[in-house]
Chain A
Amino acid sequence: AQTVTQSQPEMSVQEAETVTLSCTYDTSESDYYLFWYKQPPSRQMILVIRQEAYKQQNATENRFSVNFQKAAKSFSLKISDSQLGDAAMYFCASISNFGNEKLTFGTGTRLTIIP
């Protein structure tokens, strides 16, 4: 079974600054995928970034990047040059490449952007 932990229920950052959201996970699998999803007030779930566990290189998508530490089972999200539109709930999630296709979510971090 997989578990995902987000220890920061809320975070805030000044506009244009950088913020890092934490995520740790636990799995007995060797092959899995990790995701960060964003849920703005519209409640639409939007994929921010995806990481394949067998790839050592950290994934990046424009202002969003991850720090993937496989041995430590850590998968943090860095948002650079924060914008007002980044305000949302952010969910970390994992899925095994074996067994059933169950995406397991963390409890989320609410990010507030201060103008």
Chain B
Amino acid sequence: DTAVSQTPKYLVTQMGNDKSIKCEQNLGHDTMYWYKQDSKKFLKIMFSYNNKELIINETVPNRFSPKSPDKAHLNLHINSLELGDSAVYFCASSHGRGSEQFFGPGTRLTVL
């Protein structure tokens, strides 16, 4: 009965590799998000999709590419990983602007 799930929960990889994080929500929400939480716990929006359409694309390197195959899924692919990409990445979903955003458990990415 998990509302927003992410896989994997932990990801350790070498610099230069390409990796993906998957996110799925079973809440019937139209909008999904990716956030990055850095080592100082600061949370920042990266991307947002509404009905599979990109509506927010913050200043994120081109190495990060979100993909939404359908309303219930929003995956994050990262090319050529760098040390500075190490962080916790959260997926979230909501019905819309003023609604509560439901967060996934987070994926801790460590780049060595």
Contact = CB atoms under 8 A, between A and B. Distances in A.
Contacts, number: 57
Interface residues of B, number: 26
Contacts of B106: 43-45
Contacts of A43: 88, 105-106, 108
B48 A100 contact: yes
A107 B90 contact: no
Label chain A's interface by main secondary structure.
Answer: strand
A101 B88 contact: no
Contacts of B103: 44-46
20 contacts: A33-B98, A42-B105, A43-B88, A43-B105, A45-B90, A45-B106, A50-B100, A91-B43, A97-B97, A100-B56, A101-B31, A101-B55, A101-B56, A102-B45, A102-B48, A102-B56, A102-B58, A103-B45, A107-B41, A107-B42
